[in-house]
């Protein structure tokens, strides 16, 4: 995983390491004492070796137990317990022979002892050969190792044979006991080679430091027997193994100690080497020995030796050339595979992680030791669809690339930024929660506020962000769901905001889901009705228009207020089909009044339209279709929208322009309570301002409301707009508004919302009176 750190505990003196180091010191001391004090029998030197073997066996068994779920390492150390026990049995055989046979030279083992030593080395080699390879391409590892081991074994055997027979003076002087010595030396170096191969190839995910320590241990053990001929002259019965066995066991104990320290730490991943130089070194060494012996022999033997060396050199050079070519081809294949793997896990446009990798990394983070120490955020760009619709997908893609770059700048190097699809992004903040996580979201919000230059356009972009924090038993899908819920809560609070998941959001979601389902059923069962509140002329109160209002009476629970179900319809998207029903029903009713009452019918019909409806790409077309179906005059239709719905421009403002093109009028509803801006009056194609009830309530006297109401009527007069005062409840308010310059109003003082039948009754009375 990118950003992981291998926090490995530092090596410290432990009782086991200190005890084994002490045994090695005793081995060295006894060896030197035996050299210089003839009274000390050589067999005493075998005792420390036995102790060190027992301690390593115990340390290996304990290490296998702490490997936990690492099956490969657990099996390795469990099998490794057998090796020092076999070596110890071999030491017991040498000790027995040294005690009963004073002429024992410490090197020429008897057959049973040599078998025990050989079994220890073969066990070591077999243990390594059956380890799983780190890469599938290494399917021929066992065969290659066998060939390399044979090469090294033959080379070692030749050198050992030459060194030992030279030390004894002749092959006859060495006798048959030289054979086990040669075999053990060759097997020892093969065991060392096995560990070297493992450390280079990276088999089984083993730690490289451990494999190198074990390779060093095998090499020290193999060198023990090879150095013995050099000390024959010091004292009969001495063996370099008296020291090297304890040294071997100590080095292996360091490897076991490291295995315990890295328990639970992910293995370090490094590229493996594809070829080994060991066989070539072996061949070169053998060629050197051949030339050395040939030079001493002279004559035709020297000529043959030189020819053999030249031939092997040419073959080696040809093989090296072939290996280099193979390496180049493999590097190209690796690069191609790496590129394919990158494409499979990354977004082709932004080069961010894709949804697959994001979900995978989320699962990995939650599988860690502390699921609570992380946060996940979902980011959705506001009104991105409008940019695609207005400027084209090329501009939208360019915008996404810039946004991706800014998101990267706002997070740490080991945090994951992903594009989940379309204009939705994800953040995985491992190790961050609370204020630290929200600070990241603040940086993102600030970064996105800067204008984005995309293909010649300077665009303003904002994003709604939802954040969910991990918990003790967190699961990936639930974490994503919570972040998604928080993101939609942020959208409801306005653009360019972020929200953090909490239990209250869950309650709201449950209530929204229940009421949303009921809304869907209500639409299907025709449970909604429309009422109409008159807009009157001041001061005489003559009806000039109607504002359409929706009502819902649930058969099981009775009346549900619009302030309850309209926000939920907005959040669930049901406002779109509900709004379409309101539009068509209101236009049919207005057309019917026209047919029945003619000039006495209300002049205009006002229909509330939500921000969600304005963002629908086909809304203007739906209005045109409804007008065609009913035959109602578009110039008598007033679309009422809030300031917030059109404050940021974009597709909502474009939709209003399209409606104006149809002849429909626009009224800014509840003016003064939202994103009030005089600039909005210049950009929004409004014909009417509806002054909010909050400015009408305290309009009497020298109140602040009166000052604001006066300012608004002056603005509307100056911009040639019509002003309608909402929420008029008393005659005094009506008189004051008329005195300030208002000529249109609505409110309970004039009429409560009326059913179509009540409107018809009023119109019938007005017709009779006329």
DSSP string of 239-269, one letter each residue: -THHHHHHHHHHHHHHHHHHHHHTTTSPPPP
Nearest to 607 by CA among 644, 570, 636: 636
Q: What is the pLDDT of residue 176?
A: 46
User: Within 10 Å of residue 128's Cβ, how many Cβ atoms?
Assistant: 25
- Residues 214, 194: Cα–Cα separation, whole Å: 10
- The pTM score is 0.49
Residue showing tokens 């626009």: 666
- Residues 723, 700: Cα–Cα separation, whole Å: 18
Cβ atoms 543, 536 nearer than 8 A: yes
Cβ atoms 105, 42 nearer than 8 A: no
Output the six-digit token pair for 497: 């905001």
Q: 514-535 burial, b if ≥16 CB within 10 A, otherwise e?
A: ebbebbeebbeeebbebbbbbb
Residues 183, 187, 189, CA angle at the centre, nearest 5°?
120
Cα separation of the two ends of the chain: 85
**pLDDT mean by block of 10 residues, the chain; 770 residues:** 51 88 92 82 87 92 78 82 89 85 68 80 72 49 56 55 51 45 49 49 62 76 59 66 87 88 61 54 62 65 67 69 72 70 83 88 76 82 78 88 90 87 88 82 86 83 87 83 86 79 77 80 91 95 94 88 85 88 95 92 93 86 94 94 68 86 90 58 82 79 70 84 92 90 94 94 76
- Residues 100, 43: Cα–Cα separation, whole Å: 10
Q: What is the DSSP letter of 636?
A: G
Output the six-digit token pair for 485: 């819920």
DSSP per-residue string spanning 349-413 = TT--B-HHHHHHHHHHHHTSS-TTSEEEEEEEETTHHHHHHHH-HHHHHHHHHHHHHHHHHTS-T
- The secondary structure of the chain in percent helix, strand, coil, rounded to multiples of 5, reads 65, 10, 25
Residue showing tokens 């993101």: 487
Output the six-digit token pair for 407: 């998101």
Residue showing tokens 């490969």: 72
The helix (H) or strand (E) run that includes residue 712 is helix 704-718
The dihedral over CA atoms of 181, 186, 188, 190, expressed in degrees to the nearest 10, equals -170
Q: What is the DSSP letter of 458?
A: E
Residues 111, 112, 115, CA angle at the centre, nearest 5°?
85
Q: What is the pLDDT of residue 3?
A: 39
Q: Strands (DSSP E) along 566-659, which ranges?
A: 604-608, 637-642
Q: What is the pLDDT of residue 156?
A: 54
Burial of 462 per CB tally in 10 Å (0-12, 13-18, 19+): middle
Alpha helices, DSSP H only, in 455-549? 476-492, 503-524
Q: What is the pLDDT of residue 200?
A: 47
In the three-class reduction of DSSP (H, G, I as helix; E, B as strand; rest coil), residue 132 is classed as: coil
- Residues 666, 645: Cα–Cα separation, whole Å: 13
Cβ atoms 334, 396 nearer than 8 A: no
Q: Strands (DSSP E) along 67-147, which ranges?
A: none
Bridge partners of 551, per DSSP, are 529
């Amino acid at each position: 995983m990118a950003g992981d750190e291998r926090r490995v505990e530092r090596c410290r003196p432990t009782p086991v390491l200190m005890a084994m180091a002490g045994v090695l010191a005793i081995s060295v001391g006894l060896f030197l004492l035996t050299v210089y004090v003839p009274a000390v029998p050589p067999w005493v030197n075998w005792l420390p070796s036995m102790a060190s073997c027992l301690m390593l066996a115990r340390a290996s068994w304990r290490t296998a137990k702490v490997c936990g779920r690492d099956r490969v390492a657990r099996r390795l150390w469990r099998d490794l317990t057998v090796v020092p026990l076999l070596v110890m049995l071999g030491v017991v055989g040498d000790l027995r022979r040294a005690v009963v046979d004073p002429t024992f030279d410490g090197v020429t083992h008897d057959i049973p002892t040599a078998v025990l030593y050989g079994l220890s080395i073969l066990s070591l080699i077999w243990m390594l050969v059956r380890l799983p390879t780190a890469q599938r391409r290494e399917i021929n590892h066992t065969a290659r190792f066998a060939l390399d081991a044979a090469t090294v074994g033959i080379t070692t055997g030749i050198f050992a044979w030459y060194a030992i027979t030279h030390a004894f003076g002749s092959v006859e002087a060495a006798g048959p006991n030289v054979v086990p010595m040669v075999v053990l030396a060759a097997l020892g170096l093969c065991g060392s080679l096995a560990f070297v191969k493992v450390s280079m190839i990276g088999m089984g995910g083993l730690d490289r430091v451990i494999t190198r320590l074990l390779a060093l241990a095998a090499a020290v053990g193999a060198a023990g027997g090879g150095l013995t001929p050099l000390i024959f002259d010091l004292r009969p019965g001495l063996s370099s193994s008296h020291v090297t066995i304890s040294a071997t066991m100590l080095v292996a104990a360091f490897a076991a100690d490291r295995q315990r320290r890295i328990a639970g730490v992910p293995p370090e991943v490094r590229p493996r080497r594809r070829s080994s130089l060991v066989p070539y070194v072996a061949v070169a060494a053998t060629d050197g020995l051949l030339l050395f012996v040939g030079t001493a022999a002279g004559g035709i033997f020297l000529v043959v030796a030189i020819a053999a060396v030249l031939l092997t050199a040419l073959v080696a050079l040809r093989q090296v050339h072939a290996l280099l070519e193979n390496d180049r081809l493999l590097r190209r294949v690796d690069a191609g595979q790496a590129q394919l793997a990158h494409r499979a896990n990354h977004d082709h446009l932004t080069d961010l992680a894709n949804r697959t990798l994001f979900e995978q990394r989320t699962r990995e983070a939650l599988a860690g030791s502390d699921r609570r120490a992380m946060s996940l955020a979902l980011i959705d760009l506001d009104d991105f669809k409008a940019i695609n619709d207005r400027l084209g997908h090329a501009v939208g893609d360019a915008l996404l690339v810039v946004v991706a770059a800014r998101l990267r700048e706002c997070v740490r190097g080991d945090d994951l930024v992903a594009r989940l699809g379309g204009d939705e992004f994800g953040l995985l903040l491992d190790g961050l929660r609370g204020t630290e996580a929200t600070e990241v979201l603040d940086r993102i919000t600030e970064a996105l506020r800067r204008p984005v230059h995309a293909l010649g356009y300077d665009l303003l972009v904002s994003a709604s962000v939802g954040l969910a924090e991990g918990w003790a038993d967190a699961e990936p899908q639930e974490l994503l769901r919570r972040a998604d819920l928080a993101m939609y809560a942020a959208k409801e609070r306005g653009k360019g905001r972020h929200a953090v998941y909490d239990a209250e959001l869950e309650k709201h979601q449950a209530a929204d889901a229940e009421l949303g389902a009921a809304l869907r059923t209500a639409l299907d069962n025709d449970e909604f009705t429309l009422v109409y509140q008159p807009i009157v002329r001041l001061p005489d109160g003559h009806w000039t228009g109607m504002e359409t209002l929706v009502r819902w009476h649930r058969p099981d629970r009775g009346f549900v207020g619009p302030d309850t179900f309209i926000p939920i319809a907005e959040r669930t998207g049901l406002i779109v089909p509900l709004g379409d029903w309101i539009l068509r029903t209101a236009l049919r009713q207005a057309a019917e009044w026209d047919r029945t009452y003619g000039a006495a019918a209300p002049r205009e019909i006002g229909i509330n339209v939500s921000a969600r409806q304005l963002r629908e790409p086909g809304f203007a077309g739906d209005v045109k279709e409804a007008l065609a179906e009913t035959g109602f005059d578009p110039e008598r239709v007033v679309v009422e929208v809030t300031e917030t719905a059109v404050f940021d421009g974009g597709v909502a403002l474009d939709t209003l322009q399209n409606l104006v093109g149809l002849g429909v009028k626009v009224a800014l509803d509840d003016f003064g309570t939202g994103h009030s801006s005089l600039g909005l009056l210049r950009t929004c194609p409004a014909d009417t301002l509806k002054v909010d009830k909050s400015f009408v309530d305290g309009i009497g006297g020298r109140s602040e409301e009166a000052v604001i109401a006066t300012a608004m009527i002056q603005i509307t007069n100056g911009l040639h707009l019509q002003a309608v005062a909402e929420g008029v409840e008393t005659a005094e308010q009506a008189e004051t508004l008329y005195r300030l310059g208002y000529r249109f109003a609505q409110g309970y003082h004039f009429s409560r919302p009326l059913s179509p039948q009540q409107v018809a009754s009023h119109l019938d009375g007005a017709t009779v009176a006329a």
